[in-house]
A = this chain, B = another copy of it.
Amino acid sequence: MGQDATDVIERARALLDPALRCVLDRLDPADRRIARYHLGFADREGAPSSAGSGKLIRGVLALLSAEAVLGDEEAAAEAALPAAVGIELVHQYSLLHDDIIDNDTERRHRPAAWTVFGQPATILAGDALAALAIECAFGDLDEATAGGRDGDGMTAGTSETPPTAGAVARALAVATRRMVAGQAADVSFERAAEVRLDACLAMVADKTGALLACAASVGAIAAGGSPEVIDGLAAFGRHVGLAFQLVDDLIGLWGTAEETGKPVGSDIESRKMSLPVVAALQAGIAGADDSAAWHAQRLAAIYAEEAELSAVQVAGALAAIEGAGGRAWAEDEAAAQTDAALAILHDLPIHDAVRRDLIAVTNMLCRRTG
């Protein structure tokens, strides 16, 4: 405990990675193959792969939130590993569907699952992971202890369910629905004539914030934490989610291909309405100073182009976002959300060593630029 963020994450990943591999074995062959590819455990032929499943940050936060209540790493894993795997599966299922919805062909420097296995099979693999996530809440991490595929499994194992399992399942379902509501709002924005910044922030609070709020508190739920600690950690996670999304949007615009996993300029080329862009466009609507308004109009004109954008136009759009104040606003807002997250942590009655771990992880997630 109390180590730097990389150590904290690696320690949690060492628990999460094998548990995720194990739980995927419960899927039917067709869904399992796609899930294993998507999580980087296998290549498209099903052979073992070292592509890696990402930082598993939601699972890491879930384990830390249990440790915040119990003060002991081993007891936290015992109480909350199924919940941590569950929240990570919700995130992974949302990525499978998101890539179809956004027509994104790459994920973590590899072809997106739907480009390999087709849209029908990938929609179903996402559906399977969503259901498996709820089963995880009940501690069903491997085939031997769970309903499995024989019989109807209606009563299997119910008696061994931990007492907090229902609350964990409910929290996962509530967070999933808010996440989906955010994604649905995001899709509806694509057809909207104008997207206001407050609507866009509400969308991000649902799309990214709800799942991180759940991640940062679901381990505490599993560990039987008090409502004060659970609600405090959820509020902490929501602020982390907003800061994380703002930083992600900034990197999406000004990051390298290495950092984003996609070609430089692709967010502009796809006319993505990310937060810095919406903030910049609003400068034209809100009657900011003349220079900012001029930049906002220039940005709007580039976004309205029907044709593919040239490199010069992409660079012009980036300069316009900056000139209209979108970049500075996003940087300030990310810092404010990070500060709000840390202020909540500061006051929560949790174990100090875990508080330090959570601070380290927060700073790593939310202060990635500059």
Contacts and interface: CB of A to CB of B under 8 A. Distances in A.
Contact of A173 (B28, B124, B131, B188): B131
Interface in A120-169: 120-121, 123-128, 130-132, 134-135, 137-138, 147, 149, 151-155, 158, 161, 165-167, 169
A345 interface: no
A64 interface: no
A180 B31 contact: yes
A234 B171 CA distance: 27
A235 interface: yes
A343 interface: no
Contact of A170 (B28, B126, B158, B188): B158
A31 to B, nearest CB: 5
Interface stretch (A71-79, A213-221, A267-275, A314-322): A213-221
B213 A127 contact: no
A128 to B, nearest CB: 5
Copies in the complex: 2
A114 to B, nearest CB: 11
A106 to B, nearest CB: 18
A135 B170 contact: yes
A238 interface: yes
Contacts of A30: 181, 184-185, 187-188
Nearest to A94: B127
A273 to B, nearest CB: 15
B177 A132 contact: yes
A237 B184 CA distance: 35
A174 B185 CA distance: 29
A25 to B, nearest CB: 13
Given A101-B124, A121-B188, A231 B152 contact: yes
A178 interface: yes
Given A134-B172, A135-B174, A158-B167, 19 more contacts: A28-B181, A28-B185, A97-B124, A97-B127, A100-B123, A101-B120, A101-B123, A124-B187, A128-B180, A128-B184, A130-B131, A130-B176, A134-B173, A138-B166, A149-B181, A152-B231, A154-B213, A154-B231, A155-B167
12 contacts: A28-B181, A28-B184, A30-B188, A101-B119, A121-B184, A121-B188, A131-B173, A131-B174, A134-B173, A135-B170, A138-B170, A152-B175
Interface of A: 27-28, 30-31, 97, 100-102, 119-121, 123-128, 130-132, 134-135, 137-138, 147, 149, 151-155, 158, 161, 165-167, 169-178, 180-181, 183-185, 187-188, 206, 210, 213-214, 217-218, 221, 227, 230-231, 234-235, 237-238
List of 5 A-B pairs having minimum Cβ-Cβ separation, nearest first: A166-B166, A28-B181, A134-B173, A30-B184, A131-B177
